[in-house]
Amino acid sequence: MLRPWKLTVWSAVLVVGMLTLPMPGIGQARQPIPEGNWVGHFALPAHAAQVRLDIHIHGSTALVALGPGHASLQPTRIKRSATTLSFALPGVPLPLSFALSPRGSSLAGTVTQGALRGTARVSPGTPTLSRFLGTYQAANGDDFIVLDLSRLGLPPQLIDVTNDGLRGLYRTSATTYALGAGQGVRNPTAGAVHFAADGSKLTESLAGAVPRAATRLPFRAQEVWFQHGSIRLAATLLLPSGTGPFPAVVMAHGAGPSLRDEGQAFSNVLAAHGIASLTMDKRGEGESSGTYLGDFAGEQAIAGYAADVVAGGRFLARQSAIDPHRIGLFGGSQAGWVIPRAAATGGALFSFAVILSGPVVSQGESDYYATLCNQGNQTPAMTPAQIDAAVRAAGPSGVDPQPDLRRLHIPIFWVYGGLDQNQPTRLDIPLLEHLKLSTGMDYSWIVFPAANHGLVDTKTGLNRDAAASPNFAHGLFASLVNWLHEHALGR
* Residue 195 within any structural domain of the chain: yes
* Span 70-98, average pLDDT: 95
Domain CATH code at residue 206: 2.40.128
* Residue 428 within any structural domain of the chain: yes
For residue range 373-428, list pLDDT tens digits in order.
Answer: 999 999 999 999 999 999 999 999 999 999 999 999 999 999 999 999 999 999 99
Residue ending a domain, among 216, 246, 264, is: 216
CA nearest to 395, candidates 431, 362, 351, 432: 362
* Span 34-50, average pLDDT: 95
pLDDT at residue 63 greater than cutoff 50:
yes
Quote the pLDDT of residue 29: 53
| Burial (CB count within 10 angstroms: exposed 0-12, middle 13-18, buried 19+), residue 10 | middle
Residue ending a domain, among 216, 244, 278, is: 216
Tell whether 179 and 84 lie within a shared domain. no
Tell whether 120 and 139 lie within a shared domain. no
d(CA 307, CA 313): 10
Tell whether 383 and 433 lie within a shared domain. yes
* Residue 1 within any structural domain of the chain: no
Tell whether 177 and 45 lie within a shared domain. no
Q: Provide the percentage of residues in the chain whose pLDDT is more than 90.
A: 90
Tell whether 188 and 333 lie within a shared domain. no
Q: How many domains does the chain have?
A: 3
Quote the pLDDT of residue 46: 95
Tell whether 119 and 149 lie within a shared domain. no
Residue ending a domain, among 193, 216, 239, is: 216
Question: What single-letter DSSP state applies at residue 471?
Answer: B
Domain hosting 202: range is 133-216
Tell whether 314 and 341 lie within a shared domain. yes
Residue 92 makes CB contacts below 8 A (sequence gap 6+) with 222, 223, 224, 225, 226, 237, 319
Spell 365-393 as b/e; 16+ CB within 10 A means b.
Answer: bbbbbbebbebbeeebeeeeeebbeebee
Tell whether 278 and 392 lie within a shared domain. yes
For residue range 149-170, list pLDDT tens digits in order.
Answer: 888 888 999 999 999 999 999 9
pLDDT at residue 88 greater than cutoff 70:
yes
For residue range 288-318, list pLDDT tens digits in order.
Answer: 999 999 999 999 999 999 999 999 999 999 9
* Residue 182 within any structural domain of the chain: yes
Q: How confident is the model at residue 368 (pLDDT cuts 50, 70, 90)?
A: very high
Q: How confident is the model at residue 4 (pLDDT cuts 50, 70, 90)?
A: very low
Please give the model's pTM, rounded to 2 decimal places. 0.92
Domain CATH code at residue 429: 3.40.50.1820
* Backbone φ and ψ of 483, nearest 5°: -65, -40
